[in-house]
Structure 1
Amino acid sequence: MDHLVLEVGTALVLVAIAALLAGKFNFSIIPFLIILGMLVGPHAPKFAVIDLRFIESEEIISFLGRIGVLFLLFYLGLEFSIKKLIKSGRSIFTGGTIYILINFGLGLLYAWIMGFPLLEILIIAGIITISSSAIVAKVLVDLRRTGNKETELILGIIMFEDIFLAVYLSVVSGLVLGNAASLMGALTSILIALGYMLLFFIVARKATPILNRLLDISSNEIFIIVVFASLFFIAGFSETIHVAEAIGALLLGLVFSETEHSDRIEQLVVPFRDFFGAIFFFSFGLSIDPFTLGGAIWLTLGAVILTILGNFIAGMIAGRRAGLSHKASTNIGLTIVSRGEFSIIMANLGIAGGLMPVLKPFSALYVLILAILGPLLTRESKNIYKFLDKTFKWSQKTSKVRDPASG
């Protein structure tokens, strides 16, 4: 433990280097952080007191990364309002259902075609289905798209995915680990997740005056302590009832967005969001051993292509069903393509259950590729839309519908 602080400091220096490189190339910081994290870790060398293996500090860096996810989702919640989400409730349910059905169905079909046994099929389908809420949140913030109309639906799909994940994990873990996964258990998971989210919606609608009085604190020091204490407690409590801690942070952000203190909270959170968020992506790269990725290249490339197509189709259908334009619908499909923490959780479940070893390199390489491609595709969504519009003539068809006389 003698060099713990030095190791953490070294990690922060590497994070700073990645940030400087990203700024120099005017690109998303996420790929730089993940790749730099991969280059160090247990397989890296040690130079005198500078230990790039991060053995002693691995747990603390990982914990700081978890904090980063909480701040990312909390901030994303602050950018929205419960009223907007409730108004879009039907579109969110429809869009979330479409998204899960298409991507989960493609995951099952792909794993089956590749000849995997039943349990491996279920794990691979789970890996392919769930997008990364942390990466999606970071990209939306970086590209300043939190105010876009389609972002409400993206946010709703993220929450819908969490309900699916809670249920799916409870069922699959029972099958893989040998526990009895009953229908009643799955229904209980659904009801708990839905009830928990509903509770936050009620609090936001009915208890805003009380929250305004409680948060009416003149001292910034005391104010930030109260806000952060609420954030970490709610996130931790969410995890105990099998709702992702990041979703708990998102829900609390939605509640605070309804108060008259939302702007003040947002200004205080931004530096913490950027700092700890960067550590999350570095720690994510740190968990990937590049020397283990070679055994699943073709399996992974097929899954990546399938995921991009599935997400685009699902986003397009969901967006159009919600009355959004082709451009906004394109943004949806390209924004939610990133994969991350939830896919790794699914893979770790399979490894813990003694399933095929290929799951580990497959999940790591799959997540790595989409964690890099996701922000890139989102950033270039405008150009991708223009290319597709030239092919399918979406804008011309829309103008004809608006002005029948033009035909």
Structure 2
Amino acid sequence: MPDHSTPLIATIVVGLGLAFAFGLVAQRLRVSPLVGYLLAGVAVGPFTPGFVADAALAGELAEIGIILLMFAVGLHFSWRDLMSVGAIAVPGAIVQIGVATMLGLGLALLLGWGVVAGLVFGLALSVASTVVLVRALQERRLMDTERGRIAVGWLVVEDLAMVLALVLLPALAGATMAGSVAPGNLLVTLAITFGKVALFGAAMLVVGRRAIPWLLHYVAHTGSRELFRLAVYVIALGVAFGAAKLFGVSFALGAFFAGMVLSESKLSQRAAEEALPLRDAFAVLFFVSVGMLFDPGVLLRDPLGVVAAVLIIVVGKSVAAYGIVRAFGHGHATALTISASLAQIGEFSFILAGLGVALGMLPAEGRDLVLAGAILSILVNPVLFFAVDKRLPAAVRSPVPPPAAPAPAESGHEVLVGYGRVGALVGKRLSAAGRKLVVIEAGEDAAEAARRDGARVIIGNAADPEVLAEAELGKARRIFVAIPEAFEAGQVVQQARAISPDLEILARAESEEAVEHLTRLGATLTVMGEREIAHRMLERALARGAHRPAAAH
């Protein structure tokens, strides 16, 4: 039994431990680990027997998770990508949010909650989970297709709408008196709120737009990875905290603006990579804390309400999205894919429902229905995609990149795993030398950079056997494993050696232990940065020393 005299440690250890166990089970069942994290929260919540985590501490940990999640949303936000599909994504998302909100309002009125609670409830049911949607598209190699770009653009518009809702809800709550809204108070409160947001936005554009990228570039030139990573966290958390204390806006909005400003920097990709470990850890704690708030008894007390909420998410949103996409002249396959992508809810739904309850705008039962709807819709989502896949021809449901040009008999193509800082240097030199290059990359920005450099790109995780198979290693001359994560790189090396025993495998390592690990799994040559730097420096020093006469004493 955990030591209750250390509630913070107990909450973190038990929360992460159960999240890992439940998430692993969810992964094995081929559903989103997010479901496992939520169920872990239910297990340590006050509505189930056994250990009960400290709700106040869990709430503060969740706030850090929200800040880092919103920072990541801002960091990956791209006006260019949004504008490329804006003609359908902007009106489509707005209309779909409106339909879902009205359906949620209707259910709330039937349950006797009132209009304000109904609007908050409906908004929470209207926005899809970024984690679930992106994973579903990546699994089907759809991120780089028109359908994938529309779905992601649609999601970006939903996220922006929810950011606006997070700004407006406290203002609406402040102007609401005795169940009714006084128009004069509402206008004044909204004016003050938008004024504070405008001041904060101006400060970020005038000061933050210069100071934040400058700070990151300065730290990057120190050469310290630890300081760079710390700088990223300080920017995300510091701007969010400052926004709340100085301008009265939410942590979430402050973190979103910090990420959006930083996204214009050339170091944004590296910042995203460095923020990932801590962001993932606190995001897990966020989902655990949300699960703690869920009362499973609602499934027995109000089964019809749960079913109605799930139908709004899975059927109501899907039908609306399908009709909107078709109305804009897109095909059946595109409409079905986007409908299935949006038929679930997640992170923003939890944030909105939690804020609504905290402000007294939504009853706790409403939050329970949102959480039940999220868990069940995420469980159902793979089934919907399976049904969509069955209705579409194989070439349509999962487009495969065009095959590479035939390689000369005397030499095969080069395969490069990862197109980050190291991979991009390798790829550019290979392309300049006229080599036929196939790049395996999961990140959209890096994949686009590889395409610009003339490579054929396979979107996905190279540790996935199906993704690696697309690179045709049996015909390849060699493979470069340029990703820094030793565990994932080891999986790639091991599979590549099994596919082609004679293949030359060149791998990157970050430590002596990683060198041994990758060599043991079959790498032909494993290169560690620090060791190679030392060799080059000694080569030059010793070569010069051999030809220079000794100094006179």
Other-structure match for 2:163: 162
User: Aligned to 2:226, which of 221, 224, 244?
Assistant: 221
Indicate how the Cα distance of structure 1 residues 22 and 109 shifts in structure 2: closer, same or farther if over 3 A, else same. Answer: closer
CA–CA distance in 1 between the matches of 2:384 and 2:106? 28
CA–CA distance in 2 between the matches of 1:92 and 1:195? 29
Indicate how the Cα distance of structure 1 residues 34 and 116 shifts in structure 2: closer, same or farther if over 3 A, else same. Answer: same
CA–CA distance in 1 between the matches of 2:26 and 2:90? 37
Indicate how the Cα distance of structure 1 residues 197 and 389 shifts in structure 2: closer, same or farther if over 3 A, else same. Answer: farther
User: Aligned to 2:66, which of 64, 69, 92?
Assistant: 69
Task: Give 1:275 deviation, angstroms.
Answer: 1.8
Indicate how the Cα distance of structure 1 residues 327 and 169 shifts in structure 2: closer, same or farther if over 3 A, else same. Answer: farther
Other-structure match for 2:510: none
Task: Give 1:220 deviation, angstroms.
Answer: 1.0
Other-structure match for 2:123: 129
Q: Could you tell me which amino acid in structure 2 is paired with residue 103 of structure 1?
A: A
State the secondary structure of the residue aligned to 2:373. Answer: helix
CA–CA distance in 1 between the matches of 2:160 and 2:107? 25
Tell me if structure 2 keeps the 8 A contact 1:347–1:363.
yes
Task: Give 1:161 deviation, angstroms.
Answer: 2.7
Tell me if structure 1 keeps the 8 A contact 2:216–2:232.
no
State the secondary structure of the residue aligned to 1:340. Answer: helix
Indicate how the Cα distance of structure 1 residues 295 and 80 shifts in structure 2: closer, same or farther if over 3 A, else same. Answer: same
CA–CA distance in 2 between the matches of 1:70 and 1:136? 16
State the secondary structure of the residue aligned to 2:112. Answer: coil
Task: Give the alignment of 1:170-209 within 5 angstroms.
Answer: 170-175=171-176, 180=182, 181-190=185-194, 193=197
State the secondary structure of the residue aligned to 2:302. Answer: helix
Between Structure 1 and Structure 2, the one with more strand by share is: 2
Q: Could you tell me which amino acid in structure 2 is paired with residue 36 of structure 1?
A: A
CA–CA distance in 1 between the matches of 2:256 and 2:73? 7
Q: Could you tell me which amino acid in structure 2 is paired with residue 370 of structure 1?
A: G
CA–CA distance in 1 between the matches of 2:111 and 2:165? 25
Task: Give the alignment of 1:2-401 within 5 angstroms.
Answer: 2-4=5-7, 5-45=9-49, 52-54=51-53, 57-85=54-82, 91=88, 93-112=90-109, 114=110, 116=112, 120-131=114-125, 136-143=129-136, 145=138, 148-150=148-150, 151-175=152-176, 180=182, 181-190=185-194, 193=197, 210=214, 213-214=217-218, 216-217=220-221, 218-239=223-244, 241=247, 243-291=249-297, 294-317=300-323, 319=325, 326-336=332-342, 337-338=344-345, 339-350=349-360, 359-364=363-368, 366-386=369-389
CA–CA distance in 2 between the matches of 1:94 and 1:200? 28
Q: Per chain length, whose mean CA-contact separation is higher, i.e. which structure has more relative contact order (CA < 8 Å, sep 6+)?
A: 1
State the secondary structure of the residue aligned to 1:290. Answer: coil
Indicate how the Cα distance of structure 1 residues 115 and 282 shifts in structure 2: closer, same or farther if over 3 A, else same. Answer: closer
**When the two structures are superposed, what TM-score results if normalisation uses the length of structure 2?**
0.58
1:33-80 per-position Cα deviation (integer Å, ceiling 9, x unaligned): 21232133234445xxxxx112xx332233222322333333344334
CA–CA distance in 2 between the matches of 1:304 and 1:173? 31
Indicate how the Cα distance of structure 1 residues 7 and 263 shifts in structure 2: closer, same or farther if over 3 A, else same. Answer: closer
Task: Give 1:285 deviation, angstroms.
Answer: 1.0
**When the two structures are superposed, what TM-score results if normalisation uses the length of structure 1?**
0.75
Return the index of the structure with the highest Cα Rg: 2
Task: Give 1:230 deviation, angstroms.
Answer: 0.8
Unmatched segments (≥5 aa) in structure 1: 47-51, 353-358, 396-407
State the secondary structure of the residue aligned to 1:42. Answer: coil
Tell me if structure 1 keeps the 8 A contact 2:108–2:117.
no
Indicate how the Cα distance of structure 1 residues 236 and 34 shifts in structure 2: closer, same or farther if over 3 A, else same. Answer: same
Tell me if structure 1 keeps the 8 A contact 2:22–2:37.
yes
Task: Give 1:289 deviation, angstroms.
Answer: 2.8
Task: Give 1:381 deviation, angstroms.
Answer: 4.9
Indicate how the Cα distance of structure 1 residues 341 and 166 shifts in structure 2: closer, same or farther if over 3 A, else same. Answer: same
CA–CA distance in 2 between the matches of 1:132 and 1:233? 30
Task: Give 1:200 deviation, angstroms.
Answer: 6.1
Aligned length: 374
CA–CA distance in 2 between the matches of 1:267 and 1:311? 33
1:291-331 per-position Cα deviation (integer Å, ceiling 9, x unaligned): 45533322332233133333224433555577765544444
Q: Could you tell me which amino acid in structure 2 is paired with residue 186 of structure 1?
A: L
Unmatched segments (≥5 aa) in structure 2: 398-553
CA–CA distance in 2 between the matches of 1:131 and 1:362? 11
Task: Give 1:154 deviation, angstroms.
Answer: 0.7
